[in-house]
Structures are given as structure tokens and as C-alpha cells.
């Protein structure tokens, strides 16, 4: 399926699953907004897409900050006049045994993984409703369908993403906007490698 002339915002697009999705969507003909808190990573991905004949723009954005998310959407609409696709991919995982995980770690994951998805979805919805078209994809995880050890905070956020997705799909469905969640398993990204190392270290401590 080609997506020529469609505009896609992909958060966390500077590396890992986000980067691969940016590159794939560009191959399908999308104009890709590579949104990432790490501006250099976003620029590198966007430049690679353009070198391969695609259209991309790098945007520095912290998805936990409403003002930056709204600016991301405004910049996209100003540059291209439309937003067809939003992929809420920005997120992370920090391992911790339930007896040891810190409150600030819990709050950080809730804010990034869950609130970030909410803020971005809320920000793109009005323009999609106006055009009576939109495709929103939220990246959950297999950890959003079944619990995993040392992952209570991350699992909670990813279960939350699934519930959020199901509810918002009902809100936006009448406007010809689909909202779906994908639940990847283990993918050999830098984040996954870091998570595996964290789990191994924790297990040695609590064993």
C-alpha cells in the first residue's frame, strides 16, 4: 500500500523501532516528521531519508510537555497543511523490583509512556476531525498484555496505552479516524539491550 502525499508524525523517531518506521513509511511515499527529544538523532534519520529520495523533517520535541507537542503539530500543519498519521512511539523502560523501584522512576515512566501518548493524540485530533480522516497508532508492548517480572511500572504504562487506545477509538471512530495499538515483543534495539542488562543486574541483587 502506497501512502503518497500523506504526512506522518512519528515520535521517538530518532532510533530503534521509531527510526525503522520512519524509514519504512518514507519508502511507502509518506512525508515523515521525525520527532524526537534528541534533535541530532532526529536530524540524522531525516537526512538519511532525504538522501534516499524521501521527504522528511526533523523536529525536536519532548512529548511530556504540552507546549512542545502543540508546537510539533503546528509546525507540521504549517509546513504541509495536514496530518494523516500519528505513530505514538516515544517511550522507555526502566527495570526495578517492586521493593526497590523509586517513586520518581514510576512517575517518569507514567509521564513519558502514557501522558506523552495522550498529549500527542489530543493535539492531532482536532485537525483530523476537521478533515474527517486520520490514522493513529500507539506503540504498546507484549508487556501491555501480560505482566513481566521487574517491569511493574513499564507494564502499567503499556496496559494503560491499550486501554487508552480502545477508548479513544470509540471517541474518534465516528470521524473516520482509526486508533489502534501494536504490541511488539522483544526487538533488538539499544533500549532492549539496556533493559536486559538491567534485569540481569537486578536479579543478581535480589536472588
Q: Domain ranges in the chain?
A: 7-206
Cell of 70: 502543540
pLDDT value at residue 55: 97
pLDDT value at residue 5: 84
Report, as ranges of residue numbers, the positions in the chain whose pLDDT lies below 50: 192-193, 196, 199
Is residue 149 helix, strand or coil?
coil
Cα distance between residue 57 and residue 77, in whole Å:
12
pLDDT value at residue 193: 43
Q: Which CATH superfamily is domain 7-206 in?
A: NAD(P)-binding Rossmann-like Domain (3.40.50.720)
pTM of the model: 0.88
Q: Which of 24, 80, 133, 154 is flagged as catalytic?
A: 154
* Cα–Cα nearest to 156, from 112, 206, 100, 120: 112
pLDDT value at residue 78: 97
Total Cβ atoms within 10 A of residue 169 = 16
Of the chain, the end-to-end C-alpha distance in Å amounts to: 50
pLDDT value at residue 205: 55
pLDDT value at residue 66: 98
Residue 154 is a catalytic residue: yes
Amino acid at each position: 500500500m502506497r501512502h503518497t502525499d500523506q504526512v506522518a508524525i512519528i515520535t521517538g523517531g530518532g532510533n530503534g523501532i521509531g527510526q525503522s518506521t520512519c524509514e519504512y513509511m518514507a519508502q511507502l511515499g509518506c512525508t515523515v516528521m521525525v520527532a524526537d527529544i534528541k534533535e541530532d538523532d532526529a536530524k540524522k534519520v531525516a537526512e538519511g531519508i532525504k538522501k534516499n529520495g524521501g521527504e522528511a523533517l526533523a523536529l525536536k520535541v519532548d512529548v511530556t510537555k504540552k507546549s512542545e507537542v502543540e508546537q510539533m503539530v503546528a509546525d507540521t500543519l504549517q509546513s504541509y497543511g495536514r496530518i494523516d498519521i500519528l505513530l505514538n512511539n516515544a517511550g522507555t523502560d526502566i527495570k526495578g523490583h517492586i521493593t526497590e523501584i523509586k517513586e520518581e522512576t514510576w512517575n517518569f515512566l507514567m509521564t513519558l509512556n502514557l501522558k506523552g501518548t495522550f498529549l500527542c493524540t489530543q493535539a492531532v485530533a482536532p485537525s483530523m476531525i476537521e478533515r474527517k480522516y486520520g490514522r493513529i497508532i500507539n506503540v504498546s508492548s507484549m508487556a501491555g498484555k501480560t505482566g513481566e517480572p521487574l517491569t511493574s511500572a513499564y507494564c502499567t504504562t503499556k496496559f494503560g496505552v491499550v486501554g487508552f487506545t480502545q477508548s479513544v477509538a470509540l471517541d474518534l471512530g465516528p470521524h473516520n479516524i482509526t486508533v489502534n495499538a501494536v504490541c511488539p515483543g522483544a526487538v533488538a534495539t539499544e533500549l532492549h539491550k539496556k533493559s536486559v542488562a538491567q534485569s540481569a543486574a537486578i536479579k543478581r541483587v535480589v536472588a
